[in-house]
Chain A
């Protein structure tokens, strides 16, 4: 039986039916009532004519992963719902509501044996001027989750202000009709509203928005980018907000231009960022090597989607690890980091900006569609002090050496305008002065310098999430970390102690710290959303693992759910 403090609802409809709007409103209203939660949007690549589903998961604690099963599924229509296949799972305890005129329900729903309650949302909407079936569905969900109508009414004022009073009235009437239609229904168990008690402010934010805010807090004041799903929200948030803080965003003609624009801005002294997805990162790789060689700090957020090639633009996968870590030609060490939840997108991007500026090197932030596009209600993240401040050269009277050797490998950078320190930044192998050379000694010296500055830096405890004490360690990264945490919590309820090691810093590798984290662990379960088990191979390349290793890996688009990981833990009894 699902926990009463942990509820999951899905709205399904054809593209344009308003399933995502209903989900967003439900999450926001639940947040106002004290719930924490996650809105998982799943859509086809088409804007309309495709399929859309919004899964809202609510709890009295942070929610970082999909539910295993739904408590409530509302089919506004079923026209394209079969395309979701295994993504929408119902169980015998699920309540399924559908419009009898909304087409055939997908086969999977009948297979689970859950009865379908018929509510004619389309016909009911027709009886209301400008009535909308999705708002009726929202009313049904609101009633079943024990949310009060007034919370929604206030939201309509805010959401539909620019659509006029008629739209607000139509939504209200539709919502009421939904409440009325669900009057005699229930989820078969009591709903316990979360205790009001936490004084901590709550945020409703997506990972993409959180990453963008983290970037500005870290000091980013220029962005250039080319629109791409699922990263575009970062750009659309940055465009107005960078302008507010004295920065700017330039829409580039392609990703090649985007990364070179930010390199130009950063060379001029302005911390700069681009955001993209796999296809764009592929195009940026050459310039990433340039920024590495010329020691120019930049931040590149890759919101990963299914690949290779165009892949699955709207769905998540963790398969850009190889290109992010190893993609450059030559030996080109740079930073690769990965956020582990919606809220962590803020921290990780801010930290990445700080590290890039401090170490004068590119930082790739490997977010993904799951944490990037999903919205979460979270406690306001604590403010952190990381502000990118690069070491700058002063006015020089003599010969300035841009790439002078230093104990920590970081040499003060001259910014155009500084008198007497003129130099040419170069992608050619260069001397300490920056003059091109093909000499073996200079090549070796500068390769050492760029490696050492990354490896000798003290990254502190942020390099990984290390939790728990069991001698079975689940090793994961990025967005699957949330599902792993939940699985570990469930295993603890069974009396199985399991620990977690989730590196936030993927490059440079931290062999000493990793060995310390693994001390005493006898088994490792590696969890990742990649067909080629890229993370497992990465771990093998850089770290010593225990003798007993199992790998739970799968490509997107199906998310790895807590239940699967929990099963893998339970099945591996000694």
Chain B
């Protein structure tokens, strides 16, 4: 019976669906999925109380691979879907999943405003510095000299710095993770979900197909040498001066989440027309 199953739902496997992921062998996103299910199990949340929302891209396939409610929408708009859902259903746990193209390029404007709006949800971006689903075009986080068919000789453009932008725009929790460390990532996700307001977790998740060089990320990442700060100035210095492979929770703010009161009618419906009466 589902009731019994839910009561015992504290094993990661209970949060995994029976759908086989269509990611390339070796893709970092498999480990992100593992981190999701471990985090949900540790939180002990019933799967039907969690909604995983996404846009378009390899990473955005993740909702259907969980046993939670899922939403796989259009490209770049997942944060808007998440905000509408969470504001009207504050009882749910909302996790929005995205990639560097979905989140930082086509969805860039929503990223700024989601940080600023500070709705209580968790935003996970699986960043592989490339468009994988469309076979290897540069994303906003691709290095300027990286050569692709669409950008021969590289874009020459300075990469987007998502953590700095999140901090400047008002995100309430900022962390960087590496997909190859699923236990550590799961622990960060647990804290991100528990933290009130908008939590942003950037997960470095290698694309072994179009960025085989990223297999070396496992040698570059290192734990952040400091504890999380609640001082935005300190966090800004830390984020702007680190090497991009500094793993851990980097900022934990205390802004009040945006949560309009809903659900309680204060007047009868028939009251509303009174202002029109002559």
A residues at B contact (CB < 8 Å) = 28, 31-32, 201-205, 209, 213, 216-217, 221-222, 224, 241, 243-248, 250, 252-254, 256-258, 260-270, 272, 286-287, 290, 294, 377, 380, 395-397, 414, 416-428, 434-436
CA distance A286 to B74 in the complex (A): 8
B203 contacts the other chain (Cβ, under 8 Å)? no
**Once the chains bind, are A425 and B84 in contact (CB under 8 Å)?**
no
A416, B51: Cβ atoms under 8 Å? yes
Stretch of B32-40, B212-220, B231-239, B259-267 on the interface side: B259-267
Which of B63-71, B131-139, B189-197 sits within the interface?
Answer: B63-71
**Known contacts A202-B278, A257-B77, A417-B91, A221 near B262 by CB under 8 Å:** yes
A209→B276 contact, CB < 8 A: yes
Q: Say whether A267 contacts B71, CB under 8 Å.
A: yes
CB of B109 within 8 A of CB of A253, answer: yes
What is the CB-to-nearest-CB distance from B81 to chain A, in angstroms, rounded to a whole number? 4
Contact call A264/B273, Cβ cutoff below 8 A: no
Beyond contacts A246-B264, A418-B48: 13 other A-B pairs, Cβ-Cβ < 8 A, are A244-B271, A246-B266, A256-B77, A257-B83, A257-B113, A260-B74, A261-B80, A270-B88, A380-B277, A416-B48, A416-B51, A422-B47, A424-B71
> How many A-B Cβ pairs are below 8 Å?
190
Show 30 residue pairs from A and B whose CB-CB distance is below 8 angstroms, ordered by the A residue. Answer: A203-B276, A204-B276, A213-B272, A217-B269, A244-B266, A250-B83, A253-B113, A257-B79, A258-B80, A260-B80, A261-B80, A263-B73, A263-B81, A264-B80, A264-B81, A265-B88, A267-B81, A268-B51, A268-B85, A268-B88, A380-B277, A397-B1, A414-B69, A419-B2, A420-B2, A422-B47, A422-B68, A423-B69, A426-B72, A436-B72
Residues on A with C-beta less than 8 A from B2 are: 395-397, 419-420
Tell me the bound Cα distance from A256 to B51 in angstroms. Answer: 21
- Please judge, given known A-B contacts A216-B269, A416-B69, whether A221 and B88 are in contact too, CB under 8 Å: yes
Query: How far, in whole Å, are A272 and B87 apart by their CA atoms in the complex?
Result: 12
B46 contacts the other chain (CB 8 A): yes
Establish whether residues A422 and B69, one from each chain, have CB atoms under 8 Å apart when the complex forms: yes
Q: Chain A residues near B80: list those with CB within 8 A.
A: 224, 252, 256-258, 260-261, 264
Judge whether A424 and B69 touch: CB under 8 Å.
yes
Give the docked Cα–Cα distance between A188 and B55 (Å).
Answer: 68
Residues of B close to A264: CB separation below 8 A: 53, 71, 80-86, 88
- The 7 A-B residue pairs whose C-beta atoms are closest, nearest first, are A424-B70, A264-B84, A261-B84, A260-B80, A264-B81, A264-B85, A420-B2
A288 CB to closest chain B CB (Å) equals 10
Take A31-B278, A221-B262, A290-B74 as given contacts and tell me if A424 and B269 are in contact as well, using a CB distance cutoff of 8 Å: no
Determine the main DSSP class of A at the interface with B. mixed
Known: A213-B272, A260-B77, A420-B48. A245 touches B266 (CB 8 A): yes
CB distance from A280 to the nearest CB of B (A): 14
Residues of B within 8 Å of A202, CB to CB, are 277-278
Residues on A with beta carbons closer than 8 Å to the beta carbon of B263:
246
Q: Are A247 and B73 in contact (CB under 8 A)?
A: no
Residues of B within 8 A of A421 (CB): 48
Q: Given A253-B109, A423-B70, does the pair A417, B49 have CB atoms closer than 8 Å?
A: yes
Would you call A287 and B77 a contact (CB within 8 A)? Answer: yes
Nearest-neighbour CB distance to chain A for B70, whole angstroms, equals 3
Q: Which A-chain residue is minimally distant from B76 (CB atoms)?
A: A256
- List the interface of chain B (C-beta within 8 A of A): 1-3, 6, 19, 46-49, 51, 53, 63-64, 67-74, 76-89, 91-92, 109-110, 112-113, 260-267, 269, 271-273, 276-278
In the complex, which residues of chain A have a beta carbon less than 8 angstroms from the beta carbon of B265? 244-246
Min CB gap B160→A, angstroms: 18
Of all chain A residues, which has the CB nearest B47? A422
* Min CB gap A120→B, angstroms: 34
- Which residues of chain A have C-beta atoms less than 8 A from B273's C-beta? 203, 213, 380
User: How far is B133's CA from A436's CA once the two chains are assembled, in angstroms?
Assistant: 15
- B49, B83, B267 — most chain A CB neighbours (10 Å): B83
Residues of B within 8 A of A221 (CB): 88, 262
A260 to B47, CA, bound (A): 23
B74 touches A416 (CB 8 A): no
Q: How far is the CA of A256 from the CA of B77 in the complex (A)?
A: 7
Identify the closest chain B residue to A252 (Cβ): B80
Which A residues are CB-close (under 8 A) to B260? 243, 248, 250
Give every chain A residue within 8 A of B76 (Cβ-Cβ).
256
* Beta-carbon contact of B110 and A204 below 8 Å: no
Is A424 touching B84 in the complex (CB atoms < 8 A)? Answer: no
Contacts of A436 in B (CB 8 A): 64, 72
Q: In the complex the two chains form, what is the Cα distance from A216 to B268 in whole Å?
A: 12
Query: How far, in angstroms, from A420 to B46 measured CA to CA in the complex?
Result: 10
Q: Choose among A209, A257, A421 the residue with the greatest number of B CB atoms under 10 Å from its CB.
A: A257
In the complex, which residues of chain B have a beta carbon less than 8 angstroms from the beta carbon of A247?
262
Cα–Cα, bound, A455→B18 (Å)? 35
| Minimal Cβ-Cβ distance residue in B for A398 | B2
Cβ–Cβ < 8 Å partners of B69 in chain A: 414, 416, 422-424
Among candidates B72, B85, B112, residue contacting A424 with C-beta atoms closer than 8 Å: B72
